[in-house]
Amino acid sequence: MTPPPFHVLIPARRASTRLPDKPLADIGGAPMVVRVAERARASGALSCTVATDDQAIVDACTRAGVDALLTRPVHPSGSDRLAEAVARLGLPDDAIVVNVQGDEPLIDPALLQAVAQRLHARPDCVMATAAHPLADATELFNPNVVKVVLDARDTALLFSRAPIPWWRDAPRHDATLDLSGWPVGLRPLRHIGLYAYRAGFLRAFPTLPPAPLEQCESLEQLRVLWHGQRIAVHITPEAPGPGVDTPDDLARVRALWAVRHAAR
């Protein structure tokens, strides 16, 4: 299926407590944010733009031939930064915008296409995202792994750091639980932090009051559900390539990138 036309925005902040200068970290001879942009371009997007608060990131992108916007230095969230970028790019309200995090240099371009297609196919939704089935119960109980529960049309009902859905008759109530025996169709899903938006909604999102549930869970997407809007979810069978949050993550991604490109 041919994906609909869509644009990619990559928010990138230089400040990081766990990995300083993260967007500029070298991966195979290029800054990480440039590697992310290369993957995004491979999706066939109409445009790919980095939205950043730092001139050094703009300069690194410019040297690599990647479009970049210098946004305001202070934004409450990545979505607010994207909203500024959408306004400055003059994208029409019905344009589909895919948000790719600047620390995902191994993201599969086909997943970007799938999320854009999912939103295109659901005019009743203002956003789309992705998820994959959990294979390990330790992830089900890990609050750093966000779970999502869906309705019959694969629309998000709830995102949470808690282990949801919970099978009442589960033989165990701990991380040794065998998820292969979970009820058919209710296998826990891990949310993947990749989003497609309609540009008009993305512009309006910063005007929505923060939701109590969003603040409790520290999950921005809950603001969308709290205010009565819908998020369509694309189910992919496997987890995406690892992102980069820590020095150990960076070492792992560098090794994977080297292996993949050595085979070419």
Asked whether residue 169 is assigned to any structural domain, the reply reads yes
Asked whether residue 165 is assigned to any structural domain, the reply reads yes
Asked whether residue 1 is assigned to any structural domain, the reply reads no
Report the Cα 233 to chain-centroid distance in Å. 12
Asked whether residue 157 is assigned to any structural domain, the reply reads yes
Task: Give the least confident one: 52-66, 105-119, 240-254.
Answer: 240-254
What is the average pLDDT across 101-110? 93
Residue 241 has pLDDT above 90, yes or no: no
The DSSP 8-state label assigned to residue 205 in this structure reads G
Number of domains in the chain: 1
The two structure tokens encoding residue 20: 């300083």
* Dist. CA 92–CA 204, nearest whole Å: 13
Report the Cα 58 to chain-centroid distance in Å. 21
Of residues 144, 113, 125, the one with CA closest to residue 43: 113
* Dist. CA 246–CA 5, nearest whole Å: 34
- The pLDDT of residue 197 is 96
What is the average pLDDT across 206-234? 95
Q: What is the pLDDT of residues 6-49, one digit of tens each?
A: 999 999 987 776 788 899 999 999 999 999 999 999 999 999 99
Confidence (pTM): 0.93
Asked whether residue 167 is assigned to any structural domain, the reply reads yes
Whichever domain contains 158, its CATH number is 3.90.550.10
- The pLDDT of residue 178 is 80
- Looking at the chain, the whole-number percentage of residues with pLDDT higher than 90 is 71
- The pLDDT of residue 26 is 95
Asked whether residue 25 is assigned to any structural domain, the reply reads yes
What is the average pLDDT across 210-223? 94
- Prior bond to 123 cis, omega within 30? no
Residue 234 has pLDDT above 90, yes or no: yes
- The pLDDT of residue 170 is 80
The two structure tokens encoding residue 89: 């790019």
Residue 102 has pLDDT above 80, yes or no: yes
Asked whether residue 137 is assigned to any structural domain, the reply reads yes
Mean pLDDT taken over the chain: 91
Asked whether residue 14 is assigned to any structural domain, the reply reads yes
Q: What is the pLDDT of residues 81-95, one digit of tens each?
A: 889 999 999 999 999
**Structural domain boundaries enclosing 171:** 6-258
- The pLDDT of residue 264 is 60
Beta strands 147-150 and 189-198, pairing class = antiparallel
